[in-house]
Amino acid sequence: MTDAIAWDPLRRELDRWQAAGRVARFWLRDDDAVEPTQALETLIALARQSEVPLTLAVIPGLTGEALAVRLAEETSVTVAVHGWSHTNHAGPERKKQELGGERPAEVVLGELGEGFRLLERLHPARFLPVLVPPWNRIDPALIPALPGLGFAALSVYGRARQDGPVPLLNTHVDIIDWHGTRGGRSEAELVAELVAELRDRFAGSDEPVGVLTHHLVHDRAAWDFLSALFAVTGGHPAVRWSPASELLEHVAQKRATVLR
């Protein structure tokens, strides 16, 4: 069950945006999609009911026709490239990373190119030329080569700088407690993070607020949080849940302005 009082700080912040005649943009990215599952059905249904566009970061090396068939008619779902096989190649004392410097760059980039082409073929109407690195980590030396593979943007975690080799379309609020329960985090903590992100935007940043989910590990707390978030924001005039395809144009234009 959700705590209605816990959402008051977000409601007040959104009311402030409304009073100022401003609209905050949100977007939803869900990682590790591979095949149709009951958890994926729950996520798609919740997003559709709330009219929230959904971007699925799909693992190319583990997916196939079944997911493509399932998503074929989901007009509000887009598919991004989630590495190749979500395999950790980092040493035992290092943070997990698939797209690191442990292997030759041509091998890593070859996999990414293959994953790009595979998902583009499987999801022709849903494909988004965005790379979502597993664990949100990528060797910086690989990034300049991404446009040559066809990628229009990179999506990791945290505040985005737009002066790098490719535009960034990042996420900022992860609803999963990876270092504790590995289920949904507390509402109060997540609401506080959302409010902090919105206050940053109100002060001048125009970066969309990215919400990050992982449907395969959602527990009741995670689903309850998403349902409450969509309910609080869905009918508020100061909020727009934007499709990632639209935001791609925004971040590309912003980067062009920064580099001009």
Distance between first and last Cα of the chain: 50
pLDDT in the model for residue 96: 95
Distance CA 176, CA 213 (A): 7
pLDDT for position 258: 73
Give the other-Cβ count within 10 Å of 114's Cβ: 14
129-182 pLDDT per residue, tens: 999 999 999 999 999 999 999 999 999 999 988 788 999 999 999 999 999 999
Structure tokens at 122: 């499987």
CA distance 56 to 119: 11
Closest CA to 214 of 56, 53, 37: 56
pLDDT tens-digit readout, 217-248: 999 999 999 999 999 999 899 999 999 999 99
Tokens describing residue 53: 């566009």
Contacts of 242 (CB under 8 A, 6+ apart): 25, 26, 27, 53, 208
Q: How high is the pLDDT of residue 260?
A: 65
pLDDT of residue 162: 78
Count of CB atoms situated within 10 Å of the CB of 46: 16
pLDDT at 205 over 90: no
Q: Please state whether beta strands 24-33 and 54-58 pair in parallel, antiparallel, or not at all (unpaired).
A: parallel
Q: Parse the chain into domains and list their residue ranges.
A: 1-259
User: pLDDT by residue (tens digit) across 30-61?
Assistant: 999 999 999 999 999 999 999 999 999 999 99
Is residue 136 within 8 A of residue 156, CB to CB? The reply is yes
For residue 90 the two structure tokens come to 């980092």
User: Residue 2 pLDDT more than 90?
Assistant: no
User: How crowded is residue 161: how many other Cβ atoms within 10 Å of its Cβ?
Assistant: 11
Q: 1-259: which CATH architecture?
A: Alpha-Beta Barrel (3.20)
